[in-house]
Structure 1
């Protein structure tokens, strides 16, 4: 049943601009670094001459957490608006499907879309590096790790944003929250390690990487359960 609901959600998002957003995030990051390296090619090649691929990765990675949070905010809002704008909650929830299944399927949809975006970023990073003639010794493992691990650190934010977006038709609430979190993530280095906004950065590397990943999975799952429980009792029609 969960798979059926998920497949239905994939059909619903056609023509809603969601897939455009999935592609826009990674393409935007790659385009920004293409411009950065294009304008300062000689300087950056000299600055990162010991590890030019590592230099490219570093310049992309610093923008990934904020981009993920903004992407999560917009994706959750757009997915929820598919139901809110058409007033289809009554018909959907009248089906022999539990509200928890509906909620978890939309969470699964969000996870899949964001993983696709991360995969596109991997391909874009490799393509940009080759285009910049950084050599054929491509650090595939590092690129995959740095493009995907921050996503795990954003799972609590994904669960929270989906909760807000689905239960409140006024998307200003969830979007304002997401923008605030995204801006605050720029100063993550100053936060204590228990602050979730720091976890996407901590998940990348460092002495507490494993703790950040485990905490993100645990808190994300907990927020997901709380969101499902609240959604199953709230009138969202």
Structure 2
């Protein structure tokens, strides 16, 4: 797996994938900078009890749809490296198992998304300091709101990488992921068992970890289901 992951990183070295990893958090922070710049007095009045929490909430609300659209584009680009060069047969002919190939793609997608979440957290800190919110930063809350939505979105990561690998026409995975992101925007009133609600970290118990556990559990189940499907079919 170490050699496979090293190979995957080499494949994306000169691709736009790494730029996309940075573009997502930069876009969110940039939009929030404009938001606070235009509505500074009103927003600081709304969040006067804790300006840092207010900033983190605003960033988190915008980052969720960014994560869902970002993972859709990211997984498509990762899978499309082999599709564009018709390299799937050559790759699967190597002395490595299909399980390792599929797992490598999944781990790469998750790792890149977590890196993106890290840059989102750093960008939030920089923005808050620039807005003169002080240095009393709630780091634990910041990390939760930056990383938890990504973990809760694990089923969508698995689903999108599975679709992107098994379907050469990337229009279908991209359409599926974008529709899912749009549904998630309006899912706050959905039942707690609906996966599109999990990245919002909202549930009747008001415990974000429940949404994370639901996402992780369903994601692991989907991983094994998609892995079985990948192992039994030919990828063209």
Distance 1:206 1:118, change over 3 A: farther
Structure 1 match to 2:60: 61
Partner of 2:72: 73
Partner of 1:62: helix, strand, or coil?
Answer: helix
Cα distance per residue 1:178-201 (max 9 Å; x no partner): 000000000111211110001111
Distance 2:118 2:207 in 1: 25
DSSP 3-state at the match of 2:192 = coil
Residue 212 of structure 1 deviates from its aligned partner by 2.1
CA contact (8 A) 2:192 2:204 kept: no
Say whether residues 1:117 and 2:113 are aligned partners: no
Give the structure 1 partner of residue 107 of structure 2.
Answer: 108
Q: Is the 8 A contact 1:203 1:210 kept in 2?
A: no
Q: Which moved more, 1:158-167 or 1:131-140?
A: 131-140
Within-5 A mapping of 1:26-175: 26-175=25-174
Give how far 1:210 is off: 3.4
- CA RMSD for the aligned pairs? 1.4
Query: d(CA) in 2 for partners of 1:145 and 1:49?
Result: 21
**Which deviations, in whole Å up to 9, do the C-alpha atoms of 1:9-53 show, x marking residues without a partner?**
000011210001000000000000000111111222222211111
- Distance, in Å, in 2 between the alignment partners of 1:170 and 1:193 is 33
* SS at structure 2 position matched to 1:22: helix
**Distance in 1 (alpha carbons) for counterparts of 2:142 and 2:83:** 38
Q: Following TM superposition, by how much is the alpha carbon of 1:91 offset from its aligned partner in structure 2, in angstroms?
A: 1.0
Unmatched runs of 5 consecutive residues or more in structure 2: none
* Post-superposition offset of 1:205: 9.8
Checking the alignment, whether the CA contact within 8 Å between 1:149 and 1:203 is kept in structure 2 is: no
C-alpha contact (below 8 Å) 2:114/2:147 kept by paired residues: yes
Equivalences, count: 236
Q: CA deviation at 1:162?
A: 0.5
Alpha-carbon distance between aligned partners in 2 of 1:214 and 1:48, rounded to the nearest angstrom? 29
Greater CA deviation, 14-23 or 197-206? 197-206
Q: Is the 8 A contact 2:155 2:219 kept in 1?
A: yes
The answer for unaligned runs of 5 or more in structure 1 is none
- C-alpha distance in 2 between matches for 1:192 and 1:140: 30
